[in-house]
Amino acid sequence: MNLHSNIAVSSKPALQAVRFETTAIGVATGTVFILGTHPLGTEPFAIVAAGNTTIQLHSNCKCVDESPLKIVPYRPSAAASASILGFLDNVAEKELPMPDWSHLESPPSQAVRAFATTIKHLLAAKNLYPDRIVPSADGEISYYFFVEEDDSQCSHHRRFASITCAEDDTLVLLVADRSQDFSEATEFSMQPESMDAALDTLTKFIEPCRAL
Protein backbone atom coordinates (compact mmCIF):
# COMPACT_ATOMS: atom_id res chain seq x y z
CA MET A 1 0.00 0.00 0.00
CA ASN A 2 1.45 3.31 -1.04
CA LEU A 3 0.56 5.79 1.67
CA HIS A 4 3.71 7.73 2.14
CA SER A 5 3.21 11.48 2.37
CA ASN A 6 -0.50 11.17 1.95
CA ILE A 7 -3.44 12.49 3.82
CA ALA A 8 -6.03 9.99 4.88
CA VAL A 9 -9.61 11.15 4.85
CA SER A 10 -12.42 9.16 6.31
CA SER A 11 -15.57 8.66 4.29
CA LYS A 12 -17.69 8.65 7.41
CA PRO A 13 -19.56 11.94 7.75
CA ALA A 14 -18.69 12.32 11.37
CA LEU A 15 -15.02 11.97 10.57
CA GLN A 16 -14.96 13.97 7.35
CA ALA A 17 -15.22 17.14 9.36
CA VAL A 18 -11.77 16.47 10.67
CA ARG A 19 -8.92 17.28 8.34
CA PHE A 20 -6.10 15.00 9.25
CA GLU A 21 -2.63 16.37 8.74
CA THR A 22 -0.89 13.09 8.40
CA THR A 23 1.96 11.25 6.93
CA ALA A 24 2.25 7.56 6.47
CA ILE A 25 4.91 6.25 8.73
CA GLY A 26 5.67 3.31 10.94
CA VAL A 27 4.81 0.11 9.25
CA ALA A 28 5.28 -3.30 10.73
CA THR A 29 3.92 -6.78 10.44
CA GLY A 30 1.52 -5.90 7.68
CA THR A 31 -0.15 -2.99 9.41
CA VAL A 32 0.24 0.57 8.17
CA PHE A 33 0.24 3.27 10.78
CA ILE A 34 -0.64 6.80 9.78
CA LEU A 35 0.05 9.24 12.52
CA GLY A 36 -1.07 12.82 12.66
CA THR A 37 -2.00 15.82 14.70
CA HIS A 38 -5.52 17.05 15.04
CA PRO A 39 -5.92 20.50 13.44
CA LEU A 40 -8.16 21.63 16.25
CA GLY A 41 -5.34 21.25 18.68
CA THR A 42 -6.34 18.06 20.35
CA GLU A 43 -3.85 15.37 21.08
CA PRO A 44 -2.05 13.46 18.34
CA PHE A 45 -3.82 10.45 17.02
CA ALA A 46 -2.92 7.40 15.02
CA ILE A 47 -4.83 5.80 12.20
CA VAL A 48 -4.19 2.14 11.69
CA ALA A 49 -4.86 0.93 8.19
CA ALA A 50 -5.76 -2.71 8.44
CA GLY A 51 -5.67 -4.11 4.93
CA ASN A 52 -6.52 -1.93 1.96
CA THR A 53 -10.13 -1.15 2.68
CA THR A 54 -10.62 -0.15 6.25
CA ILE A 55 -9.00 2.02 8.83
CA GLN A 56 -9.22 2.12 12.53
CA LEU A 57 -8.97 5.52 14.09
CA HIS A 58 -7.05 5.53 17.31
CA SER A 59 -6.78 8.37 19.75
CA ASN A 60 -4.19 7.90 22.43
CA CYS A 61 -3.88 4.40 21.03
CA LYS A 62 -7.45 3.52 21.94
CA CYS A 63 -9.62 2.43 19.05
CA VAL A 64 -12.53 4.84 18.67
CA ASP A 65 -13.91 4.22 15.21
CA GLU A 66 -13.55 2.41 11.91
CA SER A 67 -14.34 3.52 8.41
CA PRO A 68 -13.33 2.92 4.78
CA LEU A 69 -10.01 4.43 3.82
CA LYS A 70 -9.63 7.16 1.25
CA ILE A 71 -6.29 8.62 0.28
CA VAL A 72 -5.52 11.93 -1.38
CA PRO A 73 -2.05 13.40 -1.98
CA TYR A 74 -0.71 15.63 0.73
CA ARG A 75 2.74 16.67 1.86
CA PRO A 76 2.94 17.89 5.42
CA SER A 77 5.03 20.86 6.46
CA ALA A 78 8.47 20.28 7.91
CA ALA A 79 7.24 21.19 11.37
CA ALA A 80 4.30 18.83 11.11
CA SER A 81 6.57 16.09 9.86
CA ALA A 82 8.96 16.57 12.74
CA SER A 83 6.10 16.48 15.19
CA ILE A 84 4.67 13.39 13.61
CA LEU A 85 8.00 11.63 13.43
CA GLY A 86 8.60 12.38 17.08
CA PHE A 87 5.21 10.97 17.89
CA LEU A 88 5.99 7.95 15.76
CA ASP A 89 9.14 7.24 17.70
CA ASN A 90 7.15 7.33 20.88
CA VAL A 91 4.31 5.19 19.62
CA ALA A 92 6.49 2.84 17.63
CA GLU A 93 8.36 1.80 20.72
CA LYS A 94 5.09 1.03 22.48
CA GLU A 95 2.86 -0.11 19.67
CA LEU A 96 5.18 -1.54 17.02
CA PRO A 97 7.31 -4.09 18.79
CA MET A 98 9.48 -6.48 16.87
CA PRO A 99 7.61 -9.66 15.99
CA ASP A 100 7.27 -12.37 18.59
CA TRP A 101 9.77 -15.02 17.64
CA SER A 102 9.82 -16.93 20.88
CA HIS A 103 7.99 -19.84 19.24
CA LEU A 104 10.45 -20.20 16.36
CA GLU A 105 12.72 -23.18 16.11
CA SER A 106 15.63 -20.83 15.50
CA PRO A 107 14.86 -17.46 17.05
CA PRO A 108 17.20 -14.64 16.05
CA SER A 109 20.25 -14.37 18.26
CA GLN A 110 20.87 -11.34 20.45
CA ALA A 111 23.52 -10.22 17.96
CA VAL A 112 21.09 -10.39 15.03
CA ARG A 113 18.42 -8.55 17.03
CA ALA A 114 20.88 -5.79 17.92
CA PHE A 115 21.96 -5.61 14.29
CA ALA A 116 18.32 -5.45 13.20
CA THR A 117 17.64 -2.60 15.60
CA THR A 118 20.54 -0.66 14.11
CA ILE A 119 19.24 -1.20 10.61
CA LYS A 120 15.72 -0.28 11.68
CA HIS A 121 16.97 3.10 12.88
CA LEU A 122 19.06 3.62 9.76
CA LEU A 123 16.02 2.88 7.61
CA ALA A 124 13.89 5.33 9.61
CA ALA A 125 16.58 7.99 9.28
CA LYS A 126 16.28 7.63 5.52
CA ASN A 127 12.50 7.71 5.70
CA LEU A 128 12.25 4.06 4.68
CA TYR A 129 9.51 2.21 6.49
CA PRO A 130 9.10 -1.48 5.78
CA ASP A 131 5.78 -3.07 5.02
CA ARG A 132 6.64 -6.11 7.08
CA ILE A 133 9.30 -7.22 9.52
CA VAL A 134 9.80 -10.94 9.24
CA PRO A 135 11.86 -13.24 11.45
CA SER A 136 13.06 -16.01 9.19
CA ALA A 137 12.95 -19.73 9.82
CA ASP A 138 16.72 -19.81 10.16
CA GLY A 139 17.09 -17.05 12.71
CA GLU A 140 17.56 -13.94 10.63
CA ILE A 141 15.44 -10.80 10.36
CA SER A 142 14.17 -9.27 7.14
CA TYR A 143 12.53 -5.96 6.37
CA TYR A 144 10.17 -6.18 3.43
CA PHE A 145 9.27 -3.40 1.04
CA PHE A 146 6.48 -4.40 -1.31
CA VAL A 147 6.30 -2.40 -4.50
CA GLU A 148 3.17 -1.91 -6.53
CA GLU A 149 2.54 -0.04 -9.74
CA ASP A 150 -0.87 0.85 -8.40
CA ASP A 151 -3.00 0.32 -5.34
CA SER A 152 -5.14 -2.42 -6.78
CA GLN A 153 -6.42 -5.12 -4.49
CA CYS A 154 -4.11 -7.80 -5.76
CA SER A 155 -3.57 -10.75 -3.54
CA HIS A 156 0.19 -10.57 -3.58
CA HIS A 157 2.99 -8.23 -4.51
CA ARG A 158 4.82 -8.88 -7.74
CA ARG A 159 7.85 -6.78 -6.90
CA PHE A 160 9.58 -6.55 -3.57
CA ALA A 161 12.84 -5.75 -1.91
CA SER A 162 13.96 -7.21 1.36
CA ILE A 163 16.89 -6.27 3.48
CA THR A 164 18.05 -9.03 5.81
CA CYS A 165 20.21 -8.92 8.90
CA ALA A 166 22.11 -12.15 8.53
CA GLU A 167 23.76 -14.29 11.18
CA ASP A 168 27.24 -13.59 9.88
CA ASP A 169 26.83 -9.84 10.46
CA THR A 170 26.19 -9.10 6.84
CA LEU A 171 23.33 -7.22 5.29
CA VAL A 172 21.68 -8.83 2.28
CA LEU A 173 19.57 -6.85 -0.14
CA LEU A 174 17.24 -9.00 -2.23
CA VAL A 175 15.29 -7.39 -5.04
CA ALA A 176 12.79 -9.48 -6.92
CA ASP A 177 10.20 -9.23 -9.64
CA ARG A 178 8.06 -12.34 -9.67
CA SER A 179 6.38 -11.46 -12.94
CA GLN A 180 9.74 -11.56 -14.70
CA ASP A 181 11.18 -14.41 -12.64
CA PHE A 182 14.00 -12.12 -11.63
CA SER A 183 15.82 -11.96 -8.32
CA GLU A 184 19.17 -10.60 -7.32
CA ALA A 185 20.88 -10.64 -3.95
CA THR A 186 23.71 -8.34 -2.91
CA GLU A 187 25.72 -8.69 0.25
CA PHE A 188 26.97 -5.73 2.27
CA SER A 189 29.24 -5.55 5.28
CA MET A 190 28.49 -3.82 8.58
CA GLN A 191 30.83 -0.95 7.74
CA PRO A 192 28.87 2.33 7.79
CA GLU A 193 29.66 3.19 4.17
CA SER A 194 28.63 -0.30 3.06
CA MET A 195 25.31 -0.12 4.94
CA ASP A 196 24.73 3.32 3.42
CA ALA A 197 25.30 1.85 -0.01
CA ALA A 198 22.74 -0.89 0.75
CA LEU A 199 20.10 1.60 1.80
CA ASP A 200 20.83 3.84 -1.19
CA THR A 201 20.32 0.87 -3.50
CA LEU A 202 17.09 0.04 -1.69
CA THR A 203 15.89 3.62 -2.04
CA LYS A 204 16.60 3.64 -5.75
CA PHE A 205 14.56 0.46 -6.13
CA ILE A 206 11.46 1.51 -4.25
CA GLU A 207 11.31 5.30 -4.56
CA PRO A 208 10.31 5.58 -8.25
CA CYS A 209 7.44 3.18 -7.67
CA ARG A 210 6.24 4.93 -4.54
CA ALA A 211 6.33 8.45 -5.89
CA LEU A 212 2.91 9.98 -6.25
Partner 1 sequence: MSRPVEPNIPADEDLYRGLLPEWIDGDVVLPEAIDIRGTSVNRHKYKSDPRDAMNVARGRTRVASVCARDFPQPLIVESGPTYQFQAFDLPDETNDAHAEIRPIRLGIGWNPNHTIASRNKALLKKALADKMRPLL
Does residue 113 bind partner 1 (CB under 8 A)?
Answer: no
Interacting residues of 78 by C-beta distance below 8 A, sequence separation 6+: none
Size of interface with partner 1, in residues (CB under 8 A) = 38
Shortest gap between Cβ of 185 and partner 1 (angstroms)?
4
Interacting residues of 18 by C-beta distance below 8 A, sequence separation 6+: 10, 38, 39, 40
- In the list 85, 122, 174, 209, the residue contacting partner 1 (rule: CB under 8 A) is 174
Rg (C-alpha) for the chain, rounded Å, is 18
Contact segment (CB under 8 A) with partner 1 among 9-17, 113-121, 122-130, 137-145 equals: 137-145
Shortest gap between Cβ of 153 and partner 1 (angstroms)?
10
Strand spans (E) along the chain: 6-10, 21-28, 31-37, 45-50, 54-59, 62-73, 132-135, 141-147, 159-165, 171-177, 182-188
Residue 211 DSSP code: -
**Using CB under 8 A, which residues numbered 17 to 46 contact partner 1?**
29-30
Binding residues (CB under 8 A) for partner 1: these are 29-30, 99-100, 103-106, 132-138, 140, 142, 144, 146, 154-157, 160, 162, 164, 166, 168, 170, 172, 174, 176, 178, 183-187
